[in-house]
Amino acid sequence: MTPKALLHAAEIIHEARHGGDWGISTGKVAVDLDALRAKKDGIVGQLTGGLVGLAKRRKVEVVRGTAKFTGAQSLEIDGKAWTFDQAVIAVGSAPVRLPGWPDDDRVWDSTAALELREVPKRLAIVGGGIIGLEMATVYAALGAEVTVVEFMDQIAPGADAEAVRILHAALEAEGITLHTGTKVASVKPTKAALVLTCEGAFEGEIRADAAIQAVGRSANGGKIAAETAGVEVTERGIIPVDASCRTANDTVFAIGDVTGNPMLAHRATHQGHVAAEVASGHAAALDTDLIPSVAYTSPELAWAGLTPTQAKERGIAHKLASFPWAASGRNLSTGGGDGLTKLVYCPDSHRVLGATIVGRNAGELLAECVLAIEMGATLEDIALTVHAHPTLSETVAFTAERALGTLTDL
């Protein structure tokens, strides 16, 4: 959640800087880092305080300490023995640390980056996944010269390539340097800078005042002696679960990042509901195939269901339709910049199989598509639903109309 508060600050800065396009000038934008940090900490405090309140109202006792399993239905917390009828493991994940990097205060993981200690003049970010790109958005807005190094051929690997190109261009337009197909071969700490030597599409050195490692997270399953409880833990610290979130031990459930990818909060919450229901004797399961992904960058990139590449790789018959946001009245009238809504659909049944949206508020707009995929909705269902005008949500209906050949807005 913390990054969302900082991403909102980045958006305020962005809007203020671009006010001139609308004849509104606010002068040079100044950032009071202490005030921003205090605002962010206040929001985090409010949210975590809210969770404590929710637990209290439900008479949940919270015990603070480090837990380790000692048997199939027992564990200890800081040395004190506990027994349980059923347990849920929700120990999450930790940032992956790149091997061979120096132990240096200027090397941050995502947690350190969110502390907002300072705005480095030159910031290198290794990893162009969701965390790397969100951090790039925040720190570039705060005034850092940001360079992202991504190993794969595109940033946000796995997302629709055409949509990613739009995000890539927008980030570059904000002054962020993006090196894809590149890896950091070595890092040398000197007094003046961290010197990152890169290999691949970009060969050369990056000199940075701080570097963020955003190369994924590893599951924490190996840290709680779960095997003692008969729970399987993979080499990578992942605890495999079935659709009911049950582990290899029938009385122990696992939810969230510790159960592997996608490591997303909304998946964890749904798994939590499933585990609680199954533990209380109800039938429940989670279809993990349809978990939306959102990068809260500027613009946002959001997708769910099949991407065109996945449909092709899996040999699934499909067609694509898209609607460019240059033709969206709402986008134009709010200075939204470039954007795209794209649907992947079945050519025979017209059912929607996947959706990708890049543009302002894409994360919010995606919900309609997720519901459509979940409900087995067809292009006709979407196109014949009256969407309010002018809204960005119309782009979803326009995409469906374009697929059906009934679009009059393009």
* Shorter beta-carbon distance to ligand NAD: residue 7 or 344: 7
Residues 272-301 binding ligand NAD (CB under 6 A) are 294-296
299 φ, ψ (degrees, to nearest 5): -75, 165
* Shorter beta-carbon distance to ligand NAD: residue 219 or 321: 219
179 φ, ψ (degrees, to nearest 5): -110, 105
Out of 107, 120, 129, 302, the only residue in the binding site for ligand NAD (CB under 6 A) is 129
What own/partner pairs with CB < 8 Å and gap ≥ 24 does 103-112 have? Answer: 104/189, 104/194, 106/189, 106/194, 106/208, 106/209, 106/210, 106/211, 107/187, 107/194, 107/210, 107/211, 107/213, 108/210, 108/211, 108/212, 108/213, 109/212, 109/213, 109/214, 110/135, 110/212, 110/214, 112/212
Q: Let me know: does 229 contact 252? Beta carbons within 8 Å.
A: yes
Catalytic residue among 18, 266, 273, 389: 389
Binding of ligand NAD by 84 (CB under 6 A): no
Q: How far is CA 138 from the centre of its chain?
A: 14
Minimal distance, residue 301 CB to ligand NAD, in Å: 10
Size of site (CB under 6 A) for ligand NAD: 26
Q: In which residue are the tokens 């999450």 written?
A: 92
Minimal distance, residue 263 CB to ligand NAD, in Å: 4
Active site residue 389: yes
Residues 99-128 binding ligand NAD (CB under 6 A) are 126-128
Q: In which residue are the tokens 């585990």 written?
A: 275
Out of 89, 107, 146, 149, the only residue in the binding site for ligand NAD (CB under 6 A) is 149
Q: What is the widest separation between alpha-carbon atoms in the chain?
A: 69
Minimal distance, residue 138 CB to ligand NAD, in Å: 12
Out of 125, 131, 194, 278, the only residue in the binding site for ligand NAD (CB under 6 A) is 131
* Shorter beta-carbon distance to ligand NAD: residue 85 or 235: 235
Binding of ligand NAD by 150 (CB under 6 A): yes
Least Cα distance to 391 among 325, 342, 337 occurs for: 325
Binding of ligand NAD by 130 (CB under 6 A): yes
Minimal distance, residue 71 CB to ligand NAD, in Å: 32
Cα separation, 349 vs 343, in Å, equals 14
Minimal distance, residue 391 CB to ligand NAD, in Å: 23
Residue 92: other Cβ atoms inside 10 A: 15
Minimal distance, residue 366 CB to ligand NAD, in Å: 12
Minimal distance, residue 297 CB to ligand NAD, in Å: 9
Q: Let me know: does 66 contact 77? Beta carbons within 8 Å.
A: yes
Q: Let me know: does 43 contact 116? Beta carbons within 8 Å.
A: no
Cα separation, 35 vs 218, in Å, equals 33
* Shorter beta-carbon distance to ligand NAD: residue 125 or 403: 125
Cα separation, 215 vs 232, in Å, equals 25
Cα separation, 363 vs 301, in Å, equals 7
DSSP H or E segment with residue 339? none
Binding of ligand NAD by 262 (CB under 6 A): yes
Piece of the chain touching ligand NAD by CB under 6 A; list 10-18, 210-218, 219-227, 298-306 = 210-218
Out of 136, 159, 184, 206, the only residue in the binding site for ligand NAD (CB under 6 A) is 184
**DSSP 8-state code for residue 96:** P
Binding of ligand NAD by 211 (CB under 6 A): no
Binding of ligand NAD by 161 (CB under 6 A): no
The 214-233 site mask, x for binding ligand NAD (CB under 6 A), equals xxxx----------------
Q: Tokens standing for 323?
A: 């609607």
Minimal distance, residue 7 CB to ligand NAD, in Å: 9
* Shorter beta-carbon distance to ligand NAD: residue 151 or 202: 151
* Shorter beta-carbon distance to ligand NAD: residue 19 or 181: 181
Active site residues: 389
Interface ranges with ligand NAD (CB under 6 A): 98, 126-132, 149-152, 157, 183-184, 214-217, 261-264, 294-296
